[in-house]
Amino acid sequence: MKPLGQLTVICGSMFAGKSEELIRLVRRAMYARKKVQVFKHALDDRFAHTAVATHNGAQWEAIPVRNTRELLCHLDADTEVVAIEEAQFFDEELVRLCVELADAGKTVIVAGLDQDFRRQPFGIMPLLMAHADEVIKLRAICVQCGRPASHTQRLVDGRPAAWDEPTILVGADDHYEARCRNCHQVRRVPPAYRKRLLQGIRRAGETP
């Protein structure tokens, strides 16, 4: 009988424990004597270039790749479990690959940020979550008030980042913080975006 594949997506803000959860699932697969390969996007070199690394120092060896085609070049045909870190940096080819691997009976574990510092959907993560059999959404602790945090606060020179600043800036904890909905801030939000947001809130409050 053909093995039943699965696509699991681990998402959340920075400092929510996504890498720890990915490593935990990889370790379980290794205990089950599955052949596992772990990949990460090469943009993430904050702690270790050839490892998935958590903020508390845990690491797991990984193959750094710059795109989906490079990942395919390193993927062995007999691999049973494929784990991918920092999925938000990849293009849509990764979504197709993950679906094809799961359809072929492989277990695919993907981790990434579901929102950017503006609280907007980040890259391909919404597509991956839509195709997933399981979505594990993790929350961190807000550094400002101590409540559960679902958002990533980008800081530039100690100040909240502006809306029009680059989305991707790979950095350690002096560039990012986990914050709750109330404490998260973005400077210079475009008036047009605020207007659309308010219009959506008004429509949601209208009685049919």
Catalytic residues: 86
- The amino acid sitting at 63 is I
Strand-strand pairing, 148-149 and 140-141: antiparallel
- Does residue 110 contact residue 8 with C-beta atoms inside 8 Å? yes
CB-neighbour burial class of residue 195 (10 A; exposed 0-12, middle 13-18, buried 19+): exposed
What amino acid occupies position 206?
Answer: E
The angle subtended at Cα 52 by Cα 51 and Cα 53, nearest 5°, is: 100
Distance CA 35, CA 192 (A): 50
- Annotate 72-138 with DSSP letters as a single string: HHH--TT--EEEEE-GGGS-THHHHHHHHHHHTT-EEEEEEESB-TTSSB-TTHHHHHHH-SEEEEE
CA dihedral 2, 61, 83, 53 (to 10 degrees): 150
- Structure tokens belonging to residue 62: 């990984």
